[in-house]
Amino acid sequence: MRSIFRSIDYQEFVANSVMQASFNWGKLSPDYRLCQTGTQQSPIALSLGNGLSLNHVPKFNYNGSVAGNFANWGYGPAFTVAHNGDWTSHPSFTYDNETLYLKGWHIHAPADHSVGGDRSKAEMHFVHVDAEGHEGAVLAFRLDPGNFNNTFFDQLPPMIGFDEMQTQEPVDLDLSLALESVLHFNEFWTYQGSLTSPPCHEGIRWFVARQIMFTGVEQMQAILGASTYSARAEQEVWQHRINE
């Protein structure tokens, strides 16, 4: 996972295009130390051998259209929910009696997480924060091309490319259409992990849908055309507590 709403330092990091050197992030800055030394770093490889989670089942409060800005985060398409200073007014989900609020989403290509050794063409991350705005959980949607257009991506304007990175296009999205595409996470893996880009903060609860979110061929071509490589190298499983 990454946040598209970070500091100038992070924007400089993006501009330097060091995503592909993720094995060495911890040496780039003292602030990125966890990238090298953390015990719950993301992403990790998943498989049906891990089983599927029966715990931490998410319950969603995603109703109606949500206003925000569509942009390119420097590696691909992204959306920021319009913020009025009150995170609790955002779409939310609850697990284990904890409620977290959507900050926005962004796409990595290829996918961060592999499942059974297969890495999807892209992965969309719905980043959620607590009431104070601290990142706490990510819903991960693996994206692959299918035979029909996806109604969620049908809502988007034309993809914003790298030459238009300063562009932010206001748009209203029905985010529940994404949840419908993966059956509202009725089957999922979950684990305690981290951001998948510097500063690699840990304590992030990941939910990775088992169902693939299929797009149309042209939709996937548009996503990939607006994206560049942004998958972090998979991390060794250590203290991640998969499905626990």
Whether 18 has a pLDDT exceeding 50, the answer reads no
Q: Apex CA 34: angle with CA 33 and CA 40, to 5°? A: 165
For 106-115, what is each residue's pLDDT tens digit? 999 999 999 9
| Pairwise CA distance, residues 88 & 101, whole Å | 6
Q: Give yes or no for residue 15 having a pLDDT over 80.
A: no
Mean pLDDT of 135-161: 97
C-alpha distance from residue 105 to each of 94, 140, 173, 230 (Å)? 18, 10, 12, 14
pLDDT of residue 136: 98
pTM for this entry: 0.91
- Per-residue pLDDT at 81 exceeds 80: yes
CA distance 45 to 78: 24
Please write the tens of the pLDDT for every residue from 33-65: 999 999 999 999 999 999 999 999 999 999 889
Which range has the worst mean pLDDT, 16-25, 27-36, 82-91, 122-131?
A: 16-25
Separation in Å, CA 155 to CA 21, 60, 85, 227: 34, 21, 26, 19
**Local structure of residue 236 (DSSP, 8 states):** P
Residue 1 has what pLDDT?
Answer: 47
For the chain, the average pLDDT equals 92
Band the pLDDT of 7: cuts 50, 70, 90: very low
Q: What is the mean pLDDT of residues 64-68?
A: 95
- Interval 200-230: pLDDT, tens: 999 999 999 999 999 999 999 999 999 999 9
Q: How many CA atoms are closer than 13 Å to the CA of 31, on its beta-carbon side?
A: 7
Structure tokens at 176: 């529940």
- pLDDT attached to residue 19: 54
Q: What is residue 20's predicted lDDT score, i.e. its pLDDT? A: 52
Q: Which pLDDT score is estimated for 21?
A: 63
Q: Which domains does the chain have, with CATH numbers?
A: 27-225 (3.10.200.10)
